[in-house]
Amino acid sequence: MLERIKSQIWAILWTAVILVMCNMKMPDTSGSGFFFEGFDKMVHLGFFYVLTIFLFFGKIRYQHNYSFRSLTIFKVILIGAALGGFIELVQWKIFTYRSAEWWDFGCDMVGVFMGVFSFVLLHLFNYEKR
């Protein structure tokens, strides 16, 4: 069990970063020029893409090979959905200075599916090289 947790240390740390960043109070950035409409959605997508990659990376490190099963993909999608839903629920009920939005959850899931697609594509490419 400890070995499994150690193999997922990057995913665990990244989850902590996501939780902090998605629930902290943000300063007013209107008119700054750097942020644009939809920037928040891109951040959600990027956070969950990286989380998905870290989850797969941890799984590869734990099993010491690059093979995967459909159950692993399902678990990663489920973890992403649970975390995304939890963040929106917390923003809605606890951190009311943040807005809970379905679009944020949707972008979380797009990031997860982009990560799954990347992993499967790399797995297939690696398989063809053998």
What are the mean pLDDT values of the chain's consecutive 10-residue runs (130 residues total)?
91 95 73 65 94 95 80 95 94 79 93 96 73
Which residue pairs from 81-89 have beta carbons closer than 8 angstroms and sit at least 24 positions apart in sequence?
A: 81/108, 81/109, 81/112, 83/15, 83/18, 83/48, 83/51, 83/108, 84/44, 84/48, 84/108, 84/109, 84/112, 87/18, 87/19, 87/22, 87/23
pLDDT at 40: 81
